[in-house]
Structure 1
Amino acid sequence: MERAIAHLDLDTFFVSCERLVNSSLNGLPIIIGGGDRGVVSSCSYEARYFGVRSAMPIHMATKLCPQALVIKGDMQLYSKMSHLITDIITAEAPIVEKASIDEFYLDLTGMDRFFGTYKWTSELINKVKKESGLPLSYALSINKTVSKIGTGEAKPLGTLYIPTADVQSFLNPLSIQKIPMLGQVTYTTLSRIGIRNIQTLSQMPIQILQQILGKTGVDLWKKANGIDLTPVEPYRERKSISTEHTFEEDTIDISFIKSLLLGMVEKLAFQLRSEQWLTSTVTVKIRYANFDTETKQQRIPYSAADHILNQIIYELFDKLYQRRMRIRLIGIQFSGLVHGNYQINLFEDTQELMTLYHVLDQIKKKYGIHTITRCASATLKHKTKASNTNK
């Protein structure tokens, strides 16, 4: 049975959310980002016309487009709208993968037995637009790669259907930069040997690409030939990561407990960023000396930043710990996960802070998670015994 995979992408999501609550922004060049030393998290098509792009330093973006209106961004609003759209889509589609805060894959294979897949998808899109008020584009094809590329070509506010017979003719003239996950380094490597469009890449001997790029070369050759067997992974809101620490001796040392929480957040936040997750729900758990267990949970704007999550964890702990009894166990959990880039949460942060997170994460990946740690959590290891849980 031929697969039918739809890719949905909300057009300039952050900008569209801002325009939804403030119609006076319609038609204006908009930049979403934080301060003169921050970076562009998103921008309108009007700003893109002048060369503004995501991840560009704000000061550079405003030089390219001096008339642009810079908005700090409201992650609370964006998270709310993302959850709303997720609820609409998951209530209708059989298999949904939430690829990021504003991007979805739908596996509609077999639905043509009952009604036209393209027509059904178009009706779903209209429902999302009507109930959310937000614009989006989508493409329908035989796999995730072709559908995602199709959505990119359909934007803004476009739709595209690419049946099997048209896949190669659709892909061939496009730049290899259109292939998902093909970065600048790989593009430069291929460009130097004359491979700049997908047709050339698809006609290269796979053995040569493997010699040049290893497994990545094989994967790119398959995508260039319209081959992608990657399944649509069903979206599960309950997916979470968590960690717990049991004290060797029950304690009431709050300063020590908060230092411990700091280290736990640092560890889990690093895991979130490494696996490209953002969390929308934070939970703190306390088990007292008498084995009574209590939890407190809070829904938050999507994040994977230590400094943001630390503040939430401390606030939840202060609200939860009311008995003034000795504590036997402390735990935290990040749930409501969605794939996404940490950058989208840094509206108030500087480019230097983003770079710092990136460098620290790279060091931890190369030399181990305990290579660099916060001073407050560095001396805790010998005082506790830990257990980690991933769900």
Structure 2
Amino acid sequence: MGTRTDFHSRGIGICPRWVMHVDFDAFFASVEQARNPALRGRPVIVGNGVIASCSYEARRSGLYNGMPLSRAARLCPSVVILDGSYPTYRALAERIFSFCRDVSPNVETFLDEAYVELTGTERLNGEAFAVGRALQGRVRRETGLPVTVGIGRSRMIAKMAGKRAKPDGLGVVESGAEAETIAPLPIRDLPGVGHAYGAVLEKLQVRTIGDLRALSAPALRKLFGVHGDILFRRCRGEDTAVIEEKEIPRSISRETSFHRDTSDLLEIEGMLFYLSERAARTLRTLGLEARTVHVRIRYAGGGSEGMGRSLPRPTGLHGPILRGALDLLRRVYARREALHLVGVSLANISRRGPRQADLYDEEEAERGEALSRALDDVRDRFGFSSVVAGRSFDLVGKLDRNTHGFVLRTPSLTK
């Protein structure tokens, strides 16, 4: 069972709100180690082409999610490489989520983590630390898996508490101690400070979260726009985000005009690949799936065309969305004149639900999800443009890039 990591010694105290973050440590790899005792204590990675999950033993050799398997094998010759059993991972995740719902009806879940609202459950469950410790014990007893639990008065603080307690630990930040607790942490540990923002701040000698508090709200707003206001509050330990199911958008779209009108099919398909990739990532970030894809084009000489189609099943994966979008482009782009604009829209959106193994090849779908997650991990760490995939290679050399991706002429998005 995990151990308590107290950031302060005064106890958990009394707080009007407590949030618990539950993180499944090195989830896929941990499942494999739990299933096969011979793998325990050994470096294990799960993936196909790139690492989708790596054990903590593998991480000590410099391996990380999203790394090509060939490079991983060179860095760590003793590593055990497994394809993985994705239906098993999904079933175990759902089981742990059910444990969380036994604690509170207000649970927000992702692929391998959950936020649990503990406020108002004290009379039923007891104090927050005891709830976290009991949940860890239940997960270990009934699944054999380690989880790290973080507890704090907000989503952000709970997750940061857990991160400092990894792996298999229990971290608590007591009410009123948030600002002083996170102050000495590296600036990139603050949610919302990714690779790009971190680089800007480090050039200004802002290396810790405490350093960031020296910058005024107007200074941060000048650097990062409205996001600067968010960082101003977060570096002081302030976070008011609630745990709840988010409103489902009616559609998610991405479109742009070309820098120069073009009839180059490779460039057009490359742009459609990139736009659909961004739209699919937004779906996954929000925990959603779409059943309908729509492609729109505008000719340089005037006139627009558009067409939509239903996908075989709801998905948040780029592969099925791209296949549908390319099929629509071939149908709608009939005049073979130069195009001024191309766009993709996803609709008929629903919350991501459990897989229906009798309806389609769950194993293939879960492999696609693992690959998407690995790419998301790399891009979260190094910026979206750190990975240029598939047909979007045809845009390299034609468009400028920054950390956030290709620089589009007139990007337009809705959510």
TM-score normalised to structure 2 length: 0.63
Match of 1:356 in 2: 390
Q: Partners in 2 of 1:118 and 1:200 — Cα distance?
A: 30
Q: Partner amino acid for 2:23?
A: D
Q: Deviations over 1:152-177 (max 9, x none)?
A: 10001100111123222220111011
Please show how residues 1-391 of structure 1 align to structure 2 within 5 Å.
Answer: 2-35=16-49, 39-98=50-109, 100-112=110-122, 115-234=126-245, 271-275=279-283, 276-277=285-286, 304-307=317-320, 335=350, 337=352, 344-345=370-371, 355-356=389-390
**Would you say the 8 A contact 2:150–2:171 is kept in 1?**
yes
Report the CA distance shift for 1:221/1:8 in structure 2 as closer, same or farther (over 3 A).
same
Q: Partners in 2 of 1:156 and 1:125 — Cα distance?
A: 12
Deviation of residue 43 (structure 1)?
0.8
Q: Partners in 2 of 1:23 and 1:366 — Cα distance?
A: 54
Match of 2:8 in 1: none
Deviation of residue 8 (structure 1)?
0.6
Q: Secondary structure at the match of 2:53?
A: strand
Q: Partners in 2 of 1:144 and 1:167 — Cα distance?
A: 12
Q: Partners in 1 of 2:175 and 2:28 — Cα distance?
A: 34
Deviation of residue 367 (structure 1)?
6.0
RMSD: 4.1
Match of 2:328 in 1: none
**Would you say the 8 A contact 2:183–2:210 is kept in 1?**
yes
Deviation of residue 231 (structure 1)?
0.6
**Would you say the 8 A contact 2:291–2:349 is kept in 1?**
yes
Q: Partner amino acid for 1:3?
A: R
Q: Partner amino acid for 2:282?
A: S
Q: Secondary structure at the match of 2:38?
A: helix
Match of 1:248 in 2: none
**Would you say the 8 A contact 2:149–2:171 is kept in 1?**
yes
**Would you say the 8 A contact 2:136–2:146 is kept in 1?**
no
**Would you say the 8 A contact 2:51–2:69 is kept in 1?**
yes
Q: Deviations over 1:8-65 (max 9, x none)?
A: 1010001011123222211111122213xxx221111111111111122222222221
Q: Partners in 1 of 2:128 and 2:146 — Cα distance?
A: 21
Q: Partners in 2 of 1:368 and 1:51 — Cα distance?
A: 37
Q: Partners in 1 of 2:29 and 2:216 — Cα distance?
A: 43
Deviation of residue 134 (structure 1)?
1.4
Q: Partners in 1 of 2:63 and 2:159 — Cα distance?
A: 22
**Would you say the 8 A contact 2:22–2:150 is kept in 1?**
yes
**Would you say the 8 A contact 2:317–2:369 is kept in 1?**
no
Q: Deviations over 1:269-324 (max 9, x none)?
A: 864422325668989xxxxxxxxxxxxx98x9x8613249979xxxxxxxxxxxxx
What 5-or-longer segments of structure 2 have no aligned partner?
1-14, 253-273, 293-311, 325-346, 354-365, 379-385, 396-403
Identity, in percent, stands at: 25
**Would you say the 8 A contact 2:104–2:121 is kept in 1?**
no
Q: Partner amino acid for 1:107?
A: E
Q: Secondary structure at the match of 2:168?
A: coil
Q: Partners in 2 of 1:225 and 1:40 — Cα distance?
A: 35
Deviation of residue 235 (structure 1)?
8.2
Report the CA distance shift for 1:365/1:20 in structure 2 as closer, same or farther (over 3 A).
farther
Q: Partner amino acid for 1:214?
A: G
**Would you say the 8 A contact 1:105–1:144 is kept in 2?**
yes
